Homo-oligomer: A and B are copies of this chain.
Amino acid sequence: MIQVAVMGHGVVGSGVVEVLENHRDSIAKRAKEEINIKYILDIREFPDSPYAQKFTKNFEDILNDEEVRVVAEVMGGVNPAYDFTKRCLEAGKSVVTSNKELVATKGAELLEIARNNNVNYLFEASVGGGIPIIRPINQCLAANEFVEIAGILNGTTNFILTKMIKDNMSFEDALRMAQQLGYAERKPEADVEGHDACRKIAILASLCYGKHIYPELVHTQGITKITLDDVAYAGAWGGVIKLIGQVMKLDDGRVDISVEPMILSRESQLANVDDVFNGILVRGDATGDVVFYGKGAGKLPTASAVVADIIDCVRNLKTRKFVYWEDGDASLVRPYEESAFPVMIRAKAEDKAAALKKAEELFGNVKAVSRSDEKEGEFAFTTGDIAVTSADAAVAELEKAGVTVLSKIRISDL
């Protein structure tokens, strides 16, 4: 019998307890050991819980109990999760987590501590919720070089964009609906500003390239400025707007990494990933494109990923899993300004024909995009590949020529 502790009794934490209890026998069979929850850590009271006697408010109870071999950290946030995780690892306990913020900001350090203490630090649930992605990247695709990873990594923004695309709902209304349904938090910034997706792509990039890529190095742009007009023009062009986290390996050894709204062709395998679903495309040099699709969040999907990691730890109490990356720095990432890609620009001008002619001068070969119920003076066009700095300069010139640029959205080749 292996004793474990669950730190945090929120949505995911209570799900972990539920899955461990409800699947006790099949889990024991797979783990080759019975697994028992000895402690549940939470500062709140749960007097009516059937597990009431397992609760503690004192982290030291867990830390100092040598029987506890594996700890699930499902508290979220950096503090005190960082301190607790560090001390558990140093005490020779394996830790599993769904805490993407902690892994994205302190992963290299915690993985190093785990290695030095010959224990495991696993985080399958930190990306893609219940979708197996960390482990397949790490193991199944071991014989690949990763050319690119791109994904719809945040279910909340994908739900909002889906409502905008399919139901013509404004961003504000869609956000309100997401909040009512419990998909978005009252303070939705982490989701709608792209921070959550940023942490996830930073974790995937670190795992693939073996060096920590910190979230602050990732150009991150959310979906708050996307309007129904943008959605309509993307549709007229033959695409949909999705919030994409993407990392590509460059020939010089650096990576190109960003989170931003992108227009995807309707033919793209990620274009049909709708609602709260996540989809992650992994492009390996040998395996080609593999897409993983499923619910990226939610109590039971995420909890089942945490429990899978617990099982893995129990099965590997004496051996270490090969999940590791070194520390990294800004030199790993190509500055976003140097990236080049096509964009769609939506603008307004009194003389549309003259404005388009000016755009052609400034951006090179452009293609006009029109929609059925175009507003007075409104127009849009797509460009070829253009560096971010050049595009910004061209936009400024265009505005000097009396054109109001309303939006500029990246077009993806996915």
The main secondary structure of chain A at its interface with chain B is: mixed
Residue from B15, B130, B287 within 8 A of A301 (CB atoms): B287
- Those of A19-35 within 8 Å (CB) of chain B: 19-20, 23, 26-27, 30-32
Is A328 engaged at the interface, CB distance under 8 Å to the other chain? no
Report whether B143 and A27 are in contact in the complex, using a CB–CB cutoff of 8 Å: yes
**A274-305 interface code vs B (CB 8 A; 1 in, 0 out):** 00000000001111111111110010110111
Which residue of chain B is the closest to A16 with respect to CB atoms?
A: B143
Q: Which of A132-140, A214-222, A238-246 contacts B (4 or more CB under 8 A)?
A: A132-140
Q: Are A290 and B130 in contact (CB under 8 A)?
A: yes
What is the bound-complex CA distance between A140 and B300, given in angstroms?
Answer: 13
Q: Are A305 and B132 in contact (CB under 8 A)?
A: no
User: Is A292 a contact of B295 with CB atoms below 8 Å?
Assistant: no
Question: Nearest chain B CB to A117's CB is how many angstroms away?
Answer: 18
Measured in the bound complex, the distance between the Cα atoms of B128 and A290 in whole Å is 10
Q: Is A269 an interface position by the 8 A CB rule?
A: yes
Q: Is the CB of B290 within 8 A of A143?
A: no
- Give the shortest distance, in Å, between A323 (CB) and chain B (any CB): 11
Q: Say yes or no: A301 contacts B322, CB within 8 Å.
A: no
Q: Which residue of B lies closest to A301 (CB)?
A: B287
Which of A23, A132, A293, A311: most chain B CB closer than 10 A? A132
Interface: A58 (CB within 8 A): no
A272–B23 Cα distance when bound, in Å, is 34
Pair B295/A288 contact, Cβ less than 8 Å: yes
Asked whether any CB of chain B lies closer than 8 Å to the CB of A308, the reply is yes
Is the Cβ of B304 less than 8 Å from the Cβ of A144?
yes
- Residues A294 and B300 in contact in the complex (CB < 8 Å), given A124-B140, A136-B135, A143-B19: no
Least CB distance, A133 to chain B, in whole angstroms: 9
A211 to B303: give the CA distance in the assembly, Å: 27
Given contacts A19-B143, A291-B293, A315-B322, contact A284 B272 (CB under 8 A): no
B308, A288: Cβ atoms closer than 8 Å: no
Q: Are A135 and B130 neighbours in the complex by a CB distance under 8 Å?
A: no
CB distance from A210 to the nearest CB of B (A): 9
Number of residues on chain A facing chain B (CB within 8 A): 49
> Are A140 and B295 also in contact (CB < 8 A) when A19-B286, A145-B26 are?
no
The answer on a CB contact under 8 Å between A308 and B140 is yes
Query: Residue A131 at the B interface, CB < 8 A?
Result: yes
B residues near A142, Cβ cutoff 8 Å: 26-27, 30-31, 307-308, 311
Interface flags, A73-105, vs B, CB<8A=1, else 0: 000000000000000000000000000000000
Would you give the 0/1 interface string for A111-143, flagging 1 where the beta carbon is closer than 8 Å to chain B?
000000000000010000011100110011111
Determine if A300 and B286 form an interchain contact, defined as CB atoms under 8 angstroms apart.
yes
- Select one of B140, B284, B294 contacting A288, CB under 8 A: B294
Distance in angstroms between the alpha carbons of A285 and B130 in the assembled complex: 11
Asked whether A289 lies within 8 Å of B284 as measured between CB atoms, the reply is no
The residue in chain B whose Cβ has the minimal distance to the Cβ of A138 is B30
Verify A287–B295 contact, CB threshold 8 A.
Answer: yes
**Beyond A30-B142, A140-B308, A291-B292: 15 further Cβ-contacts under 8 Å?**
A23-B143, A26-B142, A27-B143, A31-B142, A130-B284, A130-B286, A130-B287, A132-B141, A132-B290, A135-B135, A136-B136, A143-B303, A286-B300, A286-B304, A288-B295
Chain A to chain B contacts (Cβ below 8 Å), 23 pairs = A20-B143, A23-B143, A23-B145, A26-B142, A30-B142, A130-B286, A130-B288, A131-B290, A132-B132, A132-B136, A136-B140, A139-B308, A140-B305, A142-B311, A143-B308, A269-B272, A272-B272, A286-B301, A286-B304, A287-B304, A290-B293, A292-B293, A319-B319
Instruction: List A residues at the B interface (Cβ < 8 Å).
Output: 15, 19-20, 23, 26-27, 30-32, 124, 130-132, 135-136, 139-145, 269, 272, 284-295, 298, 300-301, 303-305, 307-308, 311-312, 315, 319, 322
Top 4 nearest A-B pairs (CB, nearest first) are A132-B140, A143-B307, A290-B294, A130-B287
